Structure 1
Amino acid sequence: MASTIKNQAARRAEVRKAAEQPQSLFAANWRSWLLAALLIAGVVVAVLHWGDVKKFAALVAHAQPIWLLAAAAAQVLTYVALAIEWTLVLRMAKCRGPFGKLLGLTVAKHFADQMVPTAGMSGNVVLVDRLREISGSRPVALAALIMTVIAYYASYGVASLLALLLLWIHGQTSWVVIGLISASLGLSAGVPTLALWLHRKGAKAIPAWLRQIRTVCELFEMIKEAPTRLVRNTRLIGELTLLNCAGFALDGLTMLFCLFSLGVYVPFGIAFGAFILASIVVTLGPIPMGLGSFEAVSIGMLRAMGVPFEAALSATLLFRGYTLWVPLIPGMFAARRQLRRKKR
């Protein structure tokens, strides 16, 4: 009798192992495909825009080093702020996450978001996959993703209002600016509301015919797995929003320091307003990474606020170098390490 029970248990274990094997193979395959897509995209972007990279290098060679270092430090702190956000979520969930790993994950996520234009989905895939391994819990990883999205768009609305105020102080408001800010505020209110609604409803949020597609149904049910005590923790959301606001302020400081490095000294409000307006156009526009549109709006806003054209152009190219080209190589290695780590 005992031997029969043991044999049955052994057969059940073999069946479970066989059932899990395709899933693990699929997981390895999708990581390989995503890694390949990211690396290829990185190489293609670098080749197609090699002229911008060379211009950035030339500008760095002639700019004031102290302000270039200040701009670099401001950009590093934006990654630190995001890593702190995830640390707070994991701590609230009673999960441990080494800060060094989370900091490396911020670089990998930024690279994925920039290289594959999928409205942030590629970076979110990397985020959930790695946080799931770090925390040991898929629901906690999903909660971190949902709360990051909510906090980002909430802070985006705050930053947009602040930019409008600063532009008004400098006499640079117009119906175009007000329209862009209004669209940004609508997005800032709509995305968090949608995220919370999807979390509450799960698969019930989609039409019945879509629920017949197993993958789609499982995806929406997976969103519902995120612990409610985390996702609806208003104090934690407030802390994450403040950290995101700090990130926007650091980006504004980066633009300011780029202007300083060229010998152009302007108030913070001018640099911050130009950065936010350019970011709004990139967010609302269809162009991957905002290549061209960001530069056009940033230069136009700086020029309208009295910055000479040459300085506005050079500062914008320096800023894009810090936010796009400099993180390219470390981001490529970080994404490769993050996606391959799970396969070992």
Structure 2
Amino acid sequence: MTAAELREPRPGRLPRRLPLRQVLCLLPVLLVAVAAVRHRSVLAEGFAHLRSAEWPWLLAAVGTTCLTWVAAAVTRQGAVVQRLPRRRLLATQFAAGAANHLLPTGLGASAVNLRFLTVCGVSLARSSAALALYMLAESIARLALLAALLLAFPNALRLGGLLPSGVVGPLLYTVGAVLVAAAGAALCVRRLRAAVASFVRTALSEARSVHCRPARALALWGGSLAFPALQAVSLVAVGRALALPVPSVHMALAYLAATTAVALVPTPGGFGSVEAALVVALVAAGGPAAVATAVVVAYRIITVWLPLLPGALTLGALVRLKVI
């Protein structure tokens, strides 16, 4: 019997199962299709708004959206001492954006970047520490920008008529209780306490190593500041394209406030929660509800839905090429 005959499937034999890597290559595209079907009414409404918008401003929004991936790549490089391959790093951030919109917020991008760092030779402990440093720096930068704009424009947001009375206090108490419970569990469980202590030691060591290199520290904090600033500029550009009667700085402040408020909501890509928070924030900044809704839908089309399929294809290609 020849080798070709041996390779041919015999009658009645079950077909060979697809390798796991091929399944993982197809999974992102499948998830995009499912998400698009579930949100088809939002997509139709968003594209309708884009047809009536001013295209120069929309192109500006697309350009600043592309720059957010560059800022993310710069920040990721700043979080590790080891030099990472630039092109693969940038492609990974583009793919991570798609993964982040298909999985609960933060999990998709973290998983993709963790895998990328380990493939690049960074140990799992150091890769996890780098992810934690990145998220900490980005959160601090976002809060710093928000605080600076609130101090400069204290009357930009009028939330009094939008939030139920007495809702802020219980919300803060709930967040505090969750943090205290998590800290208590980490201290009471012996194995968990040992794991947390080991991770903290590794993270502090990595943070010291990064900040001993001025280039890495500049990339970490410069990219962390640029990332939310570019996202806010994208929203401002879409607002200008649809003639939203709100000052540009107030729109940027509304974006930072809304995204900070929904940061703890574990929905895929913030679908639903981000849109609602942005509409509330833009109305609080003085925009009409109808126009604010149109701006938010068009903004999410540009920043989420248009890059989603190319990002998913890039993610599948990176998996196939064993970059991640």
TM bucket (normalised to shorter chain) is 0.7 to 0.9
Name the residue aligned to 1:113. Answer: 100
Find out whether 1:141 has 2:121 as its counterpart: no
Name the residue aligned to 1:62. Answer: 52
Read off the aligned partner of 1:48 and give its amino acid letter: R
Tell me, which stretches of 5 or more residues in structure 1 are unaligned?
Answer: 1-27, 198-203, 212-216
Question: Which of 142, 147, 151 is equivalent to 1:156?
Answer: 142
Q: Which has the higher helix share?
A: 1
Find out whether 1:128 has 2:114 as its counterpart: yes
| Alpha-carbon spacing, 1:140–1:65, altered in 2? closer, same or farther (3 Å) | same
Name the residue aligned to 2:41. Answer: 51
Find out whether 1:230 has 2:206 as its counterpart: yes
Name the residue aligned to 1:214. Answer: none
Measure, in 2, the Cα distance between the counterparts of 1:268 and 1:342. Answer: 43
Deviation at 1:166, TM superposition (A): 5.3
What SS class does the counterpart of residue 156 from structure 1 fall into? helix
| Alpha-carbon spacing, 1:144–1:302, altered in 2? closer, same or farther (3 Å) | same
Name the residue aligned to 1:291. Answer: 271
Measure, in 2, the Cα distance between the counterparts of 1:313 and 1:141. Answer: 39
Deviations 1:215-263 (A, max 9, x none): xx8x869847957543234465575233222111111111111011123
Name the residue aligned to 1:338. Answer: 318
Read off the aligned partner of 1:105 and give its amino acid letter: T
Equivalent residues in 2 for 1:129-278, closer than 5 Å: 129-135=115-121, 137-165=123-151, 168-170=154-156, 172=158, 174=160, 179=168, 207-208=189-190, 223=199, 226=202, 228-232=204-208, 233-234=210-211, 236=216, 239-264=219-244, 266-278=246-258
What SS class does the counterpart of residue 150 from structure 1 fall into? helix
CA contact 1:113–1:121 (8 Å) conserved in 2: yes
Q: How many residues align?
A: 290
Deviation at 1:72, TM superposition (A): 0.6
Name the residue aligned to 2:300. Answer: 320
Indicate the structure whose relative CO is greater, using CA pairs within 8 Å and at least 6 residues apart: 2
Name the residue aligned to 1:98. Answer: 85
CA contact 2:238–2:295 (8 Å) conserved in 1: yes
% of aligned pairs identical?
A: 24
CA contact 1:155–1:241 (8 Å) conserved in 2: yes
Q: TM-score, structure 2 length as denominator? A: 0.75
Measure, in 2, the Cα distance between the counterparts of 1:255 and 1:142. Answer: 31
Q: TM-score, structure 1 length as denominator? A: 0.71
Measure, in 1, the Cα distance between the counterparts of 2:83 and 2:220. Answer: 18
| Alpha-carbon spacing, 1:260–1:83, altered in 2? closer, same or farther (3 Å) | same
Read off the aligned partner of 2:250 and give its amino acid letter: I
Read off the aligned partner of 1:84 and give its amino acid letter: V
Deviation at 1:37, TM superposition (A): 4.9
CA contact 2:29–2:313 (8 Å) conserved in 1: no
Read off the aligned partner of 1:208 and give its amino acid letter: R
Tell me, which stretches of 5 or more residues in structure 2 are unaligned?
Answer: 1-18
Name the residue aligned to 2:71. Answer: 81
Measure, in 1, the Cα distance between the counterparts of 2:275 and 2:48. Answer: 18
What SS class does the counterpart of residue 284 from structure 1 fall into? coil
Per mean C-alpha deviation after superposition, the further-off stretch among 62-71 and 108-117 is 108-117
Per mean C-alpha deviation after superposition, the further-off stretch among 163-172 and 245-254 is 163-172
